[in-house]
Amino acid sequence: MQAVQRVRHRQADVGGLDVFFREAGRPGQPTVLLLHGFPSSSHTFRETMPTLADVAHVIAPDLPGFGMSSSPTVGDYDYTFENLSRTIEGLLDQLGVERFFVYLHDFGAPVGYHLATRAPTRIRGLIVQSGNAHDDGLGEQWDSARAYWADPTDEKRAELPDWLNFAGTRDQYLAGLPDRLRTLHAPESWHLDWERMSRPGNIDAQFALFTDYANHVARFDELAEYHRAHQPPALVLWGRHDPYFDVDEVLAYHRALDRMDAHIYDGGHLLLETHAAECAELMRTFVLDNA
């Protein structure tokens, strides 16, 4: 009988911040670092962790400003993806993690790529789920963001979509989905996200990260060189209805990486909400094949 791998819920003090993380599996197994995106938290991995923990030591932190981790104001914490990566690096050091697979989703992608480019030998492989590293995935839906990044005026900000509210939080889960898939999403996910985003000062923190995403896009050539030079094995998972990152991004990874397996599902941006079992099995096999 296969042992059930239970998830532990823990807190760590990293540089004065309370960082909440979920942990499963046993140290000594290959580590998988699961990095969530906007507007979610480690909650997004709740159904994948027990399956993956059968073969791996799994760590899923809530990034600062998200979930159950501390949410300092923009005056008390530098909300850049590089700084988020420093906080996560501090957590890994506390846990004694040296090498790891990294799951890159949405805002988790720039965090993970900072870890990867700073220390390429630490990365066993990439698991990419709607995590962008090429221009191919940023379609015309990003035009207003690009305009704001190039000229961050009040006028350009007024032209941005109004997404830092409850409706925008819900849309991260449901936008672009046909009715048959919308009904598969449990509403408590976006209610939890919005409750945490509503903390004092958090909207400013989220906008600061959106603004810093321009620096992630500016690093695409650097990431291309990382892919070329180090050729990490990769598993790419995508929802074909994702309205934020175009499926063309999958082919961009295919062109960049020699060892890359891709799976496109009938899902959306928060793919694990509807396809956790399928993705968990693929992740489990990927770890076994590349450990």
Helix (H, G, I), strand (E, B) or coil at 184: coil
CA nearest neighbour of 110 among 20, 36, 186: 36
Q: What phi and psi values does residue 73 have, to the nearest 5 degrees?
A: -75, 170
d(CA 240, CA 16): 40
CA nearest neighbour of 213 among 141, 144, 146: 146
Burial letters 175-213, b for 16+ CB under 10 A, else e: bbbeeebeeebeeebbebbbebbeeeebeebbbebbbbb
Active site residues: 269
Which residues, at least 6 apart from 2, have a Cβ–Cβ distance to it below 8 Å?
A: 54
d(CA 173, CA 138): 18
